[in-house]
Amino acid sequence: MELITLSNSLRVFLNKTDTVRSATAGVWIGSGSRFETKENNGISHFIEHIVFKGSEKRSGFEIAEGMDEIGAYVNAYTTKEYTFFYTKALDYQIIKAVDILFDMISNPRLFESDIETEKGVILEEIAMCEDDPQDVCSELNERSIFEGSALGMDILGTRETVSSFTEKHFREYMEKFYVPERMIIGVTGNFERDEMLRKIEEYFGSYKCTDNPLSFDAVNFRKGVNLRKMDTEQTHINLSFSGIPIDHEDLYPLQVCMFILGTGTSSMLNQRIREQLGLVYSIDSWLGRYLGAGYIAISMSLGSQSEEKAISETIDIVKSFVRSVTERNVEIAKEKLISSLIMSREQPQSKLSAMGHSLLFHGRFIEDDEIIDKIKKVELSDVITAAEKYLKLSEMSFTAVGRVKTESEYRRILENSIG
């Protein structure tokens, strides 16, 4: 592993492996809805789309055809806190692939005709998400628990903001956020080191620092009951608790706690709510982690006739967790965590993504062995402490989407269940 910082503060990491016949390159930018305003909400995601429409050297078709003719793959996605562009190609084609990728990002043409066309695409994407009750439930949940913060805004933006964007908006935003202090470039696999560095310098060496590093304000968790009616066969429910940010020391005990509680077929929630009672098809728990904020979520989808029983049983399991969790639960969960980590890292794109994410948000590489060592050190007492600290039913937020009951009815169910 080689970490290089260019004269303009752009960080580059190279992980060369001669035993494979392909390479994967990625560009991370600290740009997402977390850093937007109500007026430009969705612009980070729109930029992710619009750069594929053409650069100063290539049309959108030439970008697509150029990747196809060398058998390369290119894609991108936007989160609330970063945008990630990446390409994968055979070792002897990777320089051609990154030339296209870097050109798209650094020299987008931003034609108004392309912008208008892509508005239609993104408005359809918004409509698609609005038709998916699970997406709606997830977005409503985050909008509610992070109310008053940009972290509560949707990644896609709104119909109004998306429809309002012009070339000027994109150029002003990219000048502020597509800057070296908010960017990471990484390459892993089989490639020529010096040739790759020359290509990176060619496209990004002239970028200037703008004194706009990745920064954030801490965000408080807001509890409440949040409902949205939709014409669906099932109701989608999310129980959320205040959690931890990305860099918190309680991460590994809490991850073990989540595995025991609701991740996987042997978890407490899955065994009781699905296998024994047959109330849901699936039930899950996970951690939502951001810079300076986070939450714990338990989600399920079920028919209206099963809601009260499922909610009550779920709360009972949360209430009794610290009394019922065992050493065996902890050991199984730790093994599952380690196994999933190692298996995911054997995928080049997953490995690259983890490395870039680590450098962007932690300022260093967190090696797999360090993570595994911390997981192995988690003890039963650590899991119990984490559960007592974070699974506070009195501070829980409740979100439901679908053929929902009244707010008073849900409050009654919750109050009776919590006691």
Q: How many CB atoms lie within 10 A of CB 185?
A: 28
List pLDDT tens digits, range 391-418: 999 999 999 999 999 999 999 999 999 9
- Residues 289, 293, 298, 302, CA torsion sign: negative
Termini Cα distance of the chain: 54
pLDDT at 52: 98
List pLDDT tens digits, range 145-201: 999 999 999 999 999 999 999 999 999 999 999 999 999 999 999 999 999 999 999
pLDDT at 351: 86
* Tokens read off for 57: 């050297």
Would the pLDDT of 3 be above 90?
yes
The string of DSSP letters for 104-162 reads HHHSB---HHHHHHHHHHHHHHHHHHHT-HHHHHHHHHHHHHTTTSGGGS-TT--HHHH
- 368-261-338 Cα angle (round to 5): 15
CA atoms within 13 A on the CB side of 269: 27
Q: Of the listed 48, 118, 142, 313, which one is catalytic?
A: 48
Would the pLDDT of 25 be above 90?
yes
List pLDDT tens digits, range 107-151: 999 999 999 999 999 999 999 999 999 999 999 999 999 999 999
pLDDT at 72: 98
pLDDT at 84: 97
- Do 126 and 156 form a contact (C-beta atoms < 8 A)? yes
The helix/strand/coil state of 295 is strand
* Tokens read off for 122: 């993104």
Question: For residue 233, what are the CA distances in angstroms to 132, 133, 274?
Answer: 12, 10, 18
pLDDT at 350: 84
Give percent of the chain above pLDDT 70.
100
pTM exceeds 0.85 for this model: yes
List pLDDT tens digits, range 231-281: 999 999 999 999 999 999 999 999 999 999 999 899 999 999 999 999 999
pLDDT at 419: 87
Residue 409 is a catalytic residue: no
Confidence of residue 36 (pLDDT cuts 50, 70, 90): very high
Confidence of residue 374 (pLDDT cuts 50, 70, 90): very high
Which secondary structure element, helix H or strand E, spans residue 294, and what is its range? strand 293-302
Q: How many CB atoms lie within 10 A of CB 186?
A: 25
What is d(CA 335, CA 15) in angstroms, rounded to the nearest whole number? 27
Indicate the average pLDDT of the chain: 96
Q: How many CB atoms lie within 10 A of CB 305?
A: 8
List pLDDT tens digits, range 203-218: 999 999 998 999 888 9
* Tokens read off for 317: 């399991």
* Tokens read off for 293: 């904020």
* Tokens read off for 298: 């338990």
What is d(CA 290, CA 79) in angstroms, rounded to the nearest whole number? 10
pLDDT at 211: 87
Would the pLDDT of 345 be above 90?
no
List pLDDT tens digits, range 85-111: 999 999 999 999 999 999 999 999 999
What is d(CA 362, CA 370) in angstroms, rounded to the nearest whole number? 14
| CA dihedral angle for residue 402, residue 274, residue 398, residue 416, rounded to 10 degrees | 110
Average pLDDT over residues 224-235: 95
